Amino acid sequence: MGKEGSVDYVQLGRSGLRVSPLVLGTVNFSWLTDEADSFAIMDEALRLGVNFFDTSDNYNAGQTESLLGRWFAQGGGRREQVVLATKVYSPPSEWGSPDEARRTGSWVGPNDKGVSAKHIRAAVEASLKRLQTDYIDVYQTHHVDRAVPWEELWQAMDVLVQQGKVLYVGSSNYAGWHIAQAQAVAQQRGSFGFVSEQSVYNLRNRHIELEVAPACEALGLGLLTYSPLAGGSLAGRLPEGETGRRSFLPNSEADRMRRYLALCKEIGEPPGNVALAWVAAQPHVTAPIIGPRTMVQFSDSVKAIGIRLDANVLEELDELFPGPGGPAPEAYAW
């Protein structure tokens, strides 16, 4: 990536939808990134061929979706070029203060959360209005709702697909078992099922390699991963409080980060770029999600996707940040 017209697009799971190998996450837009800068980043993303944008109805109490809606409303083919993903589960108003909820009348009732058919119907209409569009490309359930039967979820989603308001359905923060259950019921109903799962994944958090990644591969889901820098800890900061004698012991967290920073220096790339390049290099990952606050951060991420880590570097990173040992149960049982 990095040059206009040079993107190698990938298929999202078993669907025919083609997406960029980098997802523009919008969690900071309208919050840490103002509207003008957010618009500039999205315009640059399209220019470079990054066509997959991810948001949620609860980002900044719904204001992030509204910002995207105003960007789409500028025209110029913006909506047509974007594969738009948003999420449903939490009511946007729960992120505001109780006083604000009373002032605006955005009371959170017992059916204003989760993935019941009632909440899904209300939430999708609200998202479409904020986003100023008549359809969502990938509508994702933000969390598992254990109170809702899978049959109810698929009935509600199938209606939205039939109405043309949703093209594909995805999951987020699901376990491998949840994905297997959901897909089994979808198959029984003749529904297409999930096309993607969105999970946290980085060098310091590799637990999805046990069951989520194998489930996605077996059942045809694309795997979208967020937090590639582990909340910024892989961008070069040493752990707080790790300055005493014990921090120099082998395998201490500070020692591990020092070795990581030394490896990045040897490669000649910033630590954050190496961390993102590692995620992008994993064969089970369809596309990592980034959440830039600035244009510089976005540009660095685009550059990182183009970094090719050689086998020796990947082996050393595995040694520094070992995963669970592979898929379950082989990772822990004979």
Q: Which residue has the higher pLDDT, 125 or 236?
A: 125
Instruction: Using alpha carbons, select from 28, 30, 10 the residue that is nearest to residue 20.
Output: 10
Helical pair 150-163 and 176-189, crossing angle rounded to 10 deg: 60
Q: Where are the beta strands (DSSP E) in 201-284?
A: 222-226
Cβ 107 vs Cβ 98: under 8 Å: no
Q: What is residue 272's three-state secondary structure?
A: helix
Q: What pLDDT score does 188 carry? A: 97
Q: Which residue has the tokens 């999970």?
A: 199
89 given a catalytic annotation: no
- For residue 275, pLDDT over 60 is answered with yes
Structure confidence at residue 236 as a pLDDT band (50, 70, 90): confident
Which pLDDT tens digit goes with each residue over 168-186? 999 999 999 999 999 999 9
- For residue 93, pLDDT over 80 is answered with no
| Average pLDDT over the chain, rounded to an integer | 92
- For residue 97, pLDDT over 90 is answered with no
Structure confidence at residue 245 as a pLDDT band (50, 70, 90): very low
Q: What pLDDT score does 73 carry? A: 98
pTM for this prediction: 0.92
Q: What pLDDT score does 7 carry? A: 86
- Percent of the residues in the chain that have a pLDDT greater than 70, as a whole number: 89
Q: What's phi and psi for 138, nearest 5 deg?
A: -130, 110
Least reliable range by pLDDT among 80-89, 108-117, 143-152: 108-117
- For residue 251, pLDDT over 70 is answered with no
- For residue 29, pLDDT over 60 is answered with yes
Q: What pLDDT score does 311 carry? A: 97
Which pLDDT tens digit goes with each residue over 51-75? 999 999 999 999 999 999 999 999 9
Domain ranges of the chain: 10-235+270-320
Cβ 93 vs Cβ 108: under 8 Å: yes
Q: List, as one string, the DSSP characters of 92-123.
A: GGGGS-HHHHHHHT----TTSSSS-HHHHHHH
Cα 107 to the center of its chain, rounded Å: 28
Q: What pLDDT score does 104 carry? A: 54
Between CA 90 and CA 207 the distance in angstroms is 25
Instruction: Using alpha carbons, select from 137, 20, 133, 164 the residue that is nearest to residue 68.
Output: 133
Between CA 68 and CA 56 the distance in angstroms is 11
Q: Which residue has the higher pLDDT, 250 or 126?
A: 126
- Name the catalytic one among 9, 59, 174, 226: 59
**Residue 266: HSE in the Cβ half-sphere, 13 Å Cα cutoff:** 12
Between CA 151 and CA 155 the distance in angstroms is 6
Longest dimension (CA), the chain: 64
Identify the CATH homologous superfamily for domain 10-235+270-320. NADP-dependent oxidoreductase domain (3.20.20.100)
- For residue 86, pLDDT over 60 is answered with yes
Residues 6+ apart with CB under 8 A from 5: 49
Least reliable range by pLDDT among 17-31, 70-84, 96-110, 286-300: 96-110
User: From residue 300, how far is each of 2, 8, 296, 307 by CA, in Å?
Assistant: 10, 18, 6, 11
Cα 173 to the center of its chain, rounded Å: 10
